A and B are shown apart, each in its own frame.
Chain A
Amino acid sequence: MNTNSQSTYPLPQPTSFTKAFWDACQDKVLTVYACNDCGHLFLPGGPVCPQCWSSGLVSQPVSGRGTVYSFVIYQRTYHPAIPAPYVVALIALEEGPRLISNIINCASGNIVIDMPVRVMFETEDGFMLPRFEPFNPDQRNEG
């Protein structure tokens, strides 16, 4: 029953608010938005800083390290291009902002909340998406 439009991967649709984030992902760089006035770091992008409402925003690279804030395992397929099972997680970046992503390179039974993860990038239909994999924080200062 899959039509072409249904089986096309549901890629992000960058807007003027989110373009800087997705553009950086295409270069395999994870960024957040930073407020020039109050210093607040946030995701996703918007018209103003959600803390002080300043419109002086810049895109800023981050470490790509974080922890699993929560995660779930989809056992039902909702989109033909994303077959179950797969893991969706809310990642808390070391710098503070949180984002929805996937956890890969890890058996779902081994995922726990607060587990350290780091970003890696994978292509879907030619579009680079940031995903996360387990990370040993002892390696933090090695490179």
Chain B
Amino acid sequence: MTNNAVIAGIGHTDFGKLPERTAFGLQAEAARRAIEDAGLIPGDVDGLITDPGPAQGILDGITPHYLALGQYLGLDPAYVGSDILGGTSSVAIIQRAMLAIEAGLCSVCLCVYGDSALSTPGSYSYGRGDDAAFGLFGAVGMHALAAQRHRHKWGTRPEQLAEVALAARAHAAQTPHAQNKRPLTLDGYMAAKYIVEPLRAPDCCLMSDGAAAVVVTAADRTADLRQPPTRILGHGQASSLSTWASPDHFDTLPAARCGPQALARAGLTPDGIDLVMLYDCFTIVVLMQLEDYGFCKKGEAGAFVEGGRIGPSGSLPVNTSGGLLAEGYGGGMMHVIEAIRQLRGTADKRQIKDAETALISGHGLGMNTHATLVLGKSG
């Protein structure tokens, strides 16, 4: 076995509107649950890496997020950090934890996402610098620009975007902790109001108060763990920081570069992936990732998802717990946790039979950052 870091524990809070809870309180709960799940104690933790959500990593102008959380948790770790790659951060911090463990910098690394975005108005409605003068607000505007291009270049129809939203709700209906379990029909989707045309309200992910954490450990200490360790088979990361100066910024995600990298490290092709967990801040990004990861050809994702293909009874279920669109905004960490539940065989009604491999993506900011994990069942 070439990879010697594994994921040993998972934990999360409720997701939804939790106005009485603080972001730090949520993060601490997720951390406690993840450590308990791993069969470890707080004193075992010698690495802490955080995904601070829209707080962007700096509090009170100077305090890094990991410092504030680490102080509350009473930790004196060997290795620390916060990553601010937007929605990519949760996957990226697990990748970073793995690298730190493999370099011998730490051996039990706690990776935490948590936020109280729903109870903190405006946290995702920011103006994009000087472009706010033209009304470009929120991540939704950037993704709507991509959706418009997809429609123009490939003829992608609203009914095809709807497939992604409908699948998410159908998955969430089988997820006890999901924030939005209300059924969604095609008529309901088509009747929904636009937020930023061509994206309607059901094309946009939820905002949530909630937190999620995983514990990454060295494989050689798995003897004392409570759960079967989840193997990290592959990983990759790629960014497009030049944004729209890059020729194909809105047409191809950095996933087209780091996806093949992660799959090659795992010795797999898309055909060999049993579970697909794609960062789904907006429906259009799911379509683009299906193409850029090679699950279908470029431009064909709209047709590919038709007929419920990525829904609970489809041939390629995507985001089996409902994802950001319906389970709740878990920063991307909940995608990782769902993959691990599936690989452990503990996903209850959602369980995909004989699932042995999972691909999980993180996607962030103005379509600027991307990271990929390929996980494998214990053994």
Interface residues of A (CB under 8 A from B): 9-13, 18, 42-44, 50, 69-76, 78-79, 82, 86, 88, 90, 97-98, 100-102, 108, 112-113, 124, 127, 129, 131
Name the residue of chain A whose CB is nearest to the CB of B153.
A113
Please pick, from B125, B138, B196, the residue contacting A73 in the complex, using a CB distance under 8 A: B196
The answer to whether A12 and B133 have CB atoms under 8 Å apart is yes
Q: Digit string of B221-247 for contact with A (CB within 8 Å is 1, else 0)?
A: 000000000000000000000101100
Q: Which residues of B contact A43 (CB under 8 A)?
A: 245
B148 lies within 8 A of A72 (CB): yes
Main secondary structure, interface of A, reads strand
Q: A10-B132, A70-B149, A79-B135 are in contact. List 10 more A-B contacts (CB 8 A).
A: A10-B127, A11-B133, A72-B145, A74-B137, A78-B138, A90-B250, A97-B245, A100-B131, A100-B244, A113-B152
B-chain residues with CB within 8 Å of residue A11 when the two chains form the complex: 133
Interface residue from A18, A75, A86, A98 paired with B245 (Cβ < 8 Å): A98
Question: 1/0 per residue B29-66: CB within 8 Å of A?
Answer: 00000000000000000000000000000000000000
Closest CB of chain A to B110's CB: distance in Å? 36
Once A72-B198, A100-B131 are accepted as A-B contacts, the answer to whether A88 and B244 lie under 8 Å apart by CB is: no
How many CB-defined contacts (below 8 Å) exist between A and B?
Answer: 90
B195 located at the interface, meaning its Cβ lies under 8 Å from any Cβ of chain A in the complex: yes
B245 to chain A: which residues have CB within 8 Å? 42-43, 50, 97-98
How many angstroms from the CA of A73 to the CA of B145 in the assembled complex? 9
Most buried by A among B130, B144, B242, B245: B130
**Nearest CB in chain A to that of B197: its residue:** A73
Given contacts A86-B135, A88-B134, A100-B131, contact A113 B244 (CB under 8 A): no
Contacts of B134 in A (CB 8 A): 88, 100-102, 129, 131
From B133, B152, B193, B244, give the contact of A90 (CB < 8 A).
B244
Residues of B within 8 A of A129 (CB): 133-134
The answer to whether B127 and A74 have CB atoms under 8 Å apart is: no
Would you call B75 an interface residue if the criterion is a C-beta within 8 Å of the partner chain's C-beta atoms? no
Chain B residues with CB below 8 A from A70, complex form: 145-146, 148-149, 152, 250
Query: Which listed residue, A98, A100, A131, touches B136 by the CB 8 Å rule?
Result: A100
**Contact status of A82 and B196, CB under 8 A, knowing A12-B130, A71-B148, A113-B152:** no
Report chain A residues within 8 Å CB of B244. 69, 90, 98, 100
Q: Smallest CB–CB gap between B114 and chain A, Å?
A: 26
A126 and B372 alpha carbons, distance in the complex (Å):
47
CB distance from A38 to the nearest CB of B (A): 14
**Neighbouring B residues of A88 by C-beta, 8 Å:** 134-136, 141, 145, 196
Encode contact with A along B20-36: 1 for CB under 8 Å, 0 otherwise. 00000000000000000
A127 to B132, CA, bound (A): 14
Q: Does B72 contact A (CB under 8 A)?
A: no
